[in-house]
């Protein structure tokens, strides 16, 4: 049954019908009719941000921690352009998001009107799809189709640009039948090809040096996918590694877990990837941070690749068994087919492989030299991890981008999916603080921590004010090395230690800054006082900025330098290379 | 396995392609909606694919479908990517690589203006006749020819007109369709 209402009311009605409870936004002239319609209802709760980029990252954190679609509302012109970074971030990391941008009235489009910009033009390449709504009649269909496109297939951001006159116009609102009204060309394939799945399982049944290489696709496919992955790992007995985006899909506490792989991944994960004979890639995309030098990447393995996006297959690395489909469906089929063929894990056949893995593991590639005079960043994260476990709360971690992000991935351990939020593909400094706000909005009682760098956190610092306004007790844990540590590390590695602009000069007093925002500030520089300070942070019922003064020139290791093969991995000097690496190998290091 | 690729897959070290480039004609069936051409062209520029020719026009008005014919020059690996990336666009129904799929018909139309007098004029007409070019405009000192055919036929006609007073050329770009009873 159609109901008569304005375009602005349709927006709110469609959000309500989509079950949207929270939206992140910032008003402006062209968006006012929608804001007015929002004011007159209380189903959809609006979180007022401080910068539109913040709104997009909040929506990402919200989406990734709930599996729901994140929703953003911004005004025309600068509102839309400020959202571009978050849209690109969501596209790169396949995060479902609907971003409504207001636009100048249709009659003014193209006239360089005040706060006009070509939003659909600007966002075409950083969205999965975008719309300019020219007639109010199209609005109900577009609103609902946008959610369908954002959340199905390979998820991603969708922009709906709505001119002000369309927001005012009266029309009939209805819930469209999307089977007939949507783009008929949009039909993502979710079920994997049965013969391909069969072929994959047959390969796995003969594997002697197998490895599961899992990615963000497992998280995106929902918690059931993680369950099936765990089941399949148990049935097969194979080792599991994951990309940065996939952490938590497989429990870090499981003995089959090998840690993260890639540029800052563990020695064992990278070597196992290199030496395996069957690689089972589930929902990862052979990103260059993973493969290193492509011609030297896992040269002797047969590769199975499960991905919902056909264009990911054979894009970077040629695979033997491609399976296009949703990770959840394909994993559950793999479990079923495996069960139908055997009731035994391949324990004996792969015992020598596990022996080898244990030797690599013994290298202890995440080791570091602790100190009792200065806080080591790795130590700070270890303590944060240990103490957060005892809080009796669900713990969610977000990060900024840099060394602290990699240390968080290495030293904070995740046993569940959807509890780790980080900017992987785009590597957006400034992601973590607003993402934490978004997570906390969705999980008011959880412990939400942004593991931050002092440089990154200043990019979206103002969202501290949002946290204070909505009483969101996020904890911002700054590993303050007074450096853009990751940049400094690269300058050491590749540019003769000429530290061009990689200092964090004129840093604010973060304690005072926290207080100025109405939150709590804590500073700690003594390892002996760290535990007490972390406890103080947890105990405070409100947002906290915790300035942890850490070792300034610590390197993030292990590291496979960009463009190098896996056997040129740089290990920390605490690594126990013993009889694993011969003289020649040691020289490479 | 990935030996055709040179050293790295990294933004910081440039990868050298070692595969040979080929010219392929792709036929793309799309919803005829605002911005569709920008989407397709934007994809090519964003991902660094080379377009040699591109034509677009609505082909089924009732279903609001358009056909885009695009000639690309790329390595076999990139060609597959181009097809898959195009298919990823929401309003794209199908992409066919006509060159890879076997026999297809390729045609292009050109309008060619030639000015001249005397001996040149007679020679121009003789050649036009040989190429089955139609005269669509004539004055005492000029002709406009309409010529249809494969692009290389048009290329050669233009080359022959060059010394005979060629003024300007307009070409439609390629239209292509597969042979046989099957449609897209
Ligand atoms: C928006 C943005 N600009 C620049 C970069 C490049 N970049 C990557 S890490 C980094 C330094 C981060 O410093 P900090 O937040 O202090 O983290 P640290 O590495 O010291 O832990 C920079 C500048 C980026 N990733 N994002
Ligand atoms: Mg820093």
Q: Count CA atoms within 13 Å of residue A398 on its CB side.
A: 34
Q: Report chain A's mean pLDDT, rounded to a whole number.
A: 95
For the question of residue A114 being annotated catalytic, the response is yes
Contact B38 A121 (CB under 8 A): yes
- B42 or B12, which is more confident? B42
Of the candidates A306, A340, A341, the one whose C-alpha atom is nearest the C-alpha of residue A320 is: A306
Cross-strand partners of B5: B17
Active-site residue A52, yes or no? yes
Tell the residue number behind the tokens 């240990």, with chain if given. Answer: A386
Q: What is the arrangement of strands in the sheet containing A302-307, beginning at the earlier edge strand?
A: A257-260, A240-242, A210-214, A278-282, A302-307, A321-324
Q: Residue B9: pLDDT above 60?
A: no
Q: What is the percent of chain A where pLDDT is above 70?
A: 98
CA dist A108 and A124 (Å) reads 21
From the candidates A5, A18, A52, A143, give the one annotated as an active-site residue: A52
Angle between helices A432-442 and A52-66 (to 10 degrees): 50
What pLDDT is attached to residue A579? 65
For tokens 């921690």, name the residue.
A65
Binary contact (A563, B3; C-beta < 8 A): no
Distance from the B155 Cα atom to the nearest Cα atom in chain A, whole angstroms: 36
User: What is the C-alpha R_g of chain B?
Assistant: 20
**CA A426, CA A409: separation in Å to the nearest integer?**
16
Give B1's contacts (C-beta < 8 A, 6+ positions apart). A299, A317, A318
Name beta bridge partners: A104.
none
The tokens describing A7, both together, are 């375009």
Please provide the average confidence, as pLDDT, over all residues in chain B. Answer: 90
Taking contacts as CB-CB distances below 8 angstroms, the residues of chain B near A295 are 2-3, 5-7
User: Using one digit for the tens of pLDDT, what is the confidence trace for A220-262?
Assistant: 999 999 999 999 999 999 999 999 999 999 999 999 999 999 9
Beta bridge partners of B73: B23, B50
| Contact (CB, 8 A) for A147 and A69 | yes
- pLDDT tens readout for residues A15-45: 999 999 999 999 999 999 999 999 999 999 9
A400 CA → ligand 1 middle, Å: 8
pLDDT of residue A290: 86
Q: Contact A82/A53 with Cβ under 8 angstroms? A: yes
Residue A578's CB: how many other CB atoms inside 10 A? 9
Residue A115 annotated in active site:
yes
Contacts of A139 (CB under 8 A, 6+ apart): A7, A10, A11, A14, A133, A162, A166, A171, A173
Q: In whole angstroms, how large is the CA radius of gyration of chain A?
A: 25
Q: Mark A6-45 as b/e (b = at least 16 C-beta within 10 Å).
A: bbbbbbbbbbeebebebbbbbbbebbbbbbbbbeeeeebe
- DSSP state, residue A503: B
Whether the Cβ atoms of residue A65 and residue A440 lie closer than 8 Å to each other: no
Other beta carbons within 10 angstroms of residue B11's beta carbon come to 11
Q: Answer whether A460's CB lies under 8 Å from A408's CB.
A: no
Specify the DSSP class assigned to residue A425: S
Q: Please name every residue paired with A241 in a beta bridge, in sequence order, or none if there are none.
A: A213
Summarised one tens digit per residue, pLDDT across range A531-563 is 999 999 999 999 999 999 999 999 999 999 877
Task: Confirm or reject contact between B11 and chain A (CB < 8 A).
Answer: yes
**Mean predicted confidence (pLDDT) in A122-138:** 98
SS3 assignment, position A393 = coil
**In terms of Cα–Cα distance, which of B47, B25, B8 is closest to B101?**
B25
Please say if the pLDDT value at position A584 is more than 80: no
Of A309, A317, A562, which has the smallest distance from its Cβ to B10's Cβ?
A: A562
pLDDT at A215: 98
**How many residues are there in chain B?**
184
Both tokens assigned to A415: 């046993």
Cα angle A401, A407, A408 (rounded to 5 degrees) comes to 75
Nearest protein Cα to ligand 1, atom 13: A484
DSSP B17: B
Q: Is B62 helix (H, G, I), strand (E, B) or coil?
A: coil
Residues of chain A neighbouring B14 (CB-CB closer than 8 A): none
Residue B10, pLDDT > 50, answer no
User: Is it true that the peptide bond before A314 is cis, omega within 30 degrees of 0?
Assistant: no
Terminal C-alpha separation, chain A: 70
How many contacts (CB atoms, under 8 Å) link A and B?
82
Report the sign of the C-alpha dihedral through residues A473, A92, A120, A13, in that order: negative
Min Cα separation A124/chain B (Å): 7
Three-class DSSP category at B183: coil
pLDDT reported for residue B184: 84
Non-local (6+) Cβ contacts of A113 within 8 A are A104
* Residue A583's pLDDT band (cuts 50, 70, 90): low
- Cβ proximity of A474 and A422 under 8 Å: no
Distance between CA atoms of residues A249 and A226, nearest Å: 5
Please tell me the distance from the alpha carbon of residue A405 to that of residue A452, in angstroms, as a whole number: 7
Chain B nearest CA to A132, separation (Å)? 9
Task: Tell me how far CA of residue A193 lies from CA of A189, A201, A323, A326, B94, in angstroms.
Answer: 10, 13, 6, 11, 20
Q: Which of A144, A121, A147 is nearest to A132 (CA)?
A: A121
pLDDT band at B1 (very low <50, low <70, confident <90, very high): very low
Q: Write out chain B residues lying below 8 Å of A294, CB-based.
A: 2, 5, 7-9, 15
pLDDT band of residue B15 (cuts 50, 70, 90) is: low
Nearest to A197 by CA among A339, A343, A314: A339
Q: Rounded to 5 degrees, what are φ and ψ at B126?
A: -60, -45
Give the CA-trace dihedral at A231, A237, A238, A239, to 10 degrees: 90
What is the per-residue pLDDT across A80-94, written as a single tens digit (0 to 9) for each? 999 999 999 999 999
| d(C-alpha A567, C-alpha A238), whole Å | 22
The closest alpha carbon to A465, from A543, A522, A537, belongs to A543
Q: B14 touching A, CB under 8 A?
A: no
Pocket (CB within 6 angstroms of ligand 1)? A 400-404, 427-429, 453-456, 479, 481, 483-487
Decide: helix, strand or coil at residue A439: helix
The partner residue sitting opposite A183, judged by closest CB among B11, B31, B77, is B31
Q: What is the three-class DSSP state of B142?
A: strand
> How many angstroms from the chain centroid is the CA of residue A58?
12
Task: Give the Cα separation of A503 and A483 in Å (integer).
Answer: 5
Q: Are A185 and B90 in contact (CB < 8 Å)?
A: yes
Q: What mean pLDDT is predicted for residues A355-380?
A: 97
Strand duo A170-173 + A70-74: pairing? unpaired
Q: How far apart are CA B4 and CA A318, in angstroms?
A: 11
Q: Answer yes or no: are the C-beta atoms of A206 and A341 closer than 8 Å.
A: no
Beta carbons of A241 and A272 less than 8 angstroms apart: yes
Contact check, Cβ <8 Å, A297/B35: no
pLDDT given for residue B94 in this prediction: 95
Tens of pLDDT, residue by residue over A384-422, are 999 999 999 999 999 999 999 999 999 999 999 999 999
3-state DSSP of A201-243: HHHHHHCCCEEEEECHHHHHCCHHHHHHHHHHHHHHCCCEEEC
Residues of A in contact with B85 (CB under 8 A): 311
């Amino acid at each position: 049954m159609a109901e008569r209402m304005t375009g602005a009311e349709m927006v709110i009605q469609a959000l309500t019908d989509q079950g949207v409870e929270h939206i992140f936004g910032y008003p402006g002239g062209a968006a006012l009719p929608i804001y007015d319609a929002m004011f007159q209802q209380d189903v959809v709760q609006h979180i007022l941000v401080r910068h539109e980029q913040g709104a997009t990252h909040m929506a990402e954190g919200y989406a990734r921690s709930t599996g729901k679609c994140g929703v953003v509302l911004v005004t025309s012109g600068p509102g839309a352009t400020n959202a571009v970074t978050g849209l690109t971030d969501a596209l790169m990391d396949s995060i479902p998001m609907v971003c409504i941008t207001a636009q100048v009235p249709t009659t003014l489009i193209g006239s360089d009107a005040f706060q006009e910009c070509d939003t659909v033009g600007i966002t075409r390449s950083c969205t999965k799809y975008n719309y300019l709504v020219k007639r109010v009649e199209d609005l109900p269909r577009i609103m609902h189709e946008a959610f369908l496109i954002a959340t199905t297939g390979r998820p991603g951001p969708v922009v709906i640009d709505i001119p002000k006159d369309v927001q005012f116009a009266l029309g009939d609102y209805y819930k469209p039948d999307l089977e007939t009204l949507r783009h008929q060309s949009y039909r993502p394939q979710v079920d994997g090809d049965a013969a391909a799945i069969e072929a994959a399982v047959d390969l796995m049944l003969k594997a002697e040096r197998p490895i599961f290489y899992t990615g963000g696709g497992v998280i995106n496919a929902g918690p059931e996918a993680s369950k099936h992955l765990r089941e399949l790992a148990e049935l097969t007995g194979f080792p599991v590694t994951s990309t940065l985006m996939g952490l938590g899909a497989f429990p870090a506490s499981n003995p089959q877990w090998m840690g993260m792989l890639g540029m800052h991944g563990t020695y064992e994960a990278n070597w196992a990837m290199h030496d395996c004979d069957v690689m089972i890639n589930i929902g990862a995309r052979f990103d260059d941070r993973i493969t290193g030098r492509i011609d030297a990447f896992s040269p002797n393995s047969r590769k199975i690749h499960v991905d919902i996006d056909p264009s990911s297959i054979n894009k970077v690395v040629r695979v033997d068994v491609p399976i296009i489909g949703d990770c959840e469906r394909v994993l559950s089929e793999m479990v079923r087919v495996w069960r139908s063929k055997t009731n035994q894990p391949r324990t004996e056949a792969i015992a020598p492989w596990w022996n080898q893995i244990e030797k690599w593991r013994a290298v202890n590639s995440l080791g570091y030299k602790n100190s009792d005079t200065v806080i080591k960043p790795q130590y700070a994260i270890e303590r944060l991890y240990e103490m957060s476990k005892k809080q009796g709360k669900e713990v969610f971690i977000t990060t900024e981008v840099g060394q602290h992000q990699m240390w968080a991935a290495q030293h904070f351990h995740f046993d569940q999916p959807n509890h780790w939020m980080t900017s992987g593909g785009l590597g957006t400094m400034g992601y973590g603080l607003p993402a934490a706000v978004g997570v906390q909005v969705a999980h008011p009682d959880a412990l939400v921590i942004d593991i931050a760098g002092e440089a990154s956190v200043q990019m979206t610092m103002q969202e501290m004010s949002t946290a204070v306004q909505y009483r969101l007790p996020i904890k911002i844990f700054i590993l303050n090395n007074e450096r853009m540590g990751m940049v400094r590390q690269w300058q050491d590695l590749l540019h003769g230690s000429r530290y061009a602009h990689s200092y964090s000069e004129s840093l604010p007093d973060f304690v005072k800054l926290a207080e100025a925002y109405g939150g709590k500030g804590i500073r700690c520089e003594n390892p002996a006082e760290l535990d007490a300070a972390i406890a103080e942070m947890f105990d405070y019922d409100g947002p906290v900025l915790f300035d942890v003064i850490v070792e300034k020139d610590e390197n993030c290791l292990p590291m496979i330098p960009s463009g190098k093969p896996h056997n040129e991995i740089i290990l920390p000097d605490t690594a126990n290379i013993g009889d694993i690496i011969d003289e020649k190998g040691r020289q490479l290091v | 396995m990935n030996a055709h690729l040179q050293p790295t897959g990294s933004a910081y070290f440039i990868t050298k392609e070692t595969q040979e480039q080929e010219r392929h004609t792709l036929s793309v069936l799309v919803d005829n909606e605002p911005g569709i051409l920008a989407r397709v062209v934007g994809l090519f520029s964003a991902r660094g694919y080379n377009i040699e020719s591109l034509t677009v026009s609505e082909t089924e008005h009732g279903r609001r479908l358009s056909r885009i014919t695009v000639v690309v020059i790329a390595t076999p690996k990139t060609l597959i990517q181009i097809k898959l990336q195009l298919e990823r666009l929401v309003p794209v129904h199908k992409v066919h690589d006509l060159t890879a799929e076997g026999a297809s018909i390729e045609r292009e139309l050109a309008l060619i203006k030639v000015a001249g007098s005397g001996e040149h004029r007679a020679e121009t007409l003789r050649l036009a006749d040989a190429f089955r070019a139609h005269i669509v405009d004539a004055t005492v000192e000029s002709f406009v020819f309409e010529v249809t055919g494969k692009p290389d036929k048009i290329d050669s006609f233009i080359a022959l007109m060059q010394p005979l007073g060629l003024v300007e050329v307009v070409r439609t770009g390629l239209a292509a369709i597969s042979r046989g009873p099957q449609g897209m």
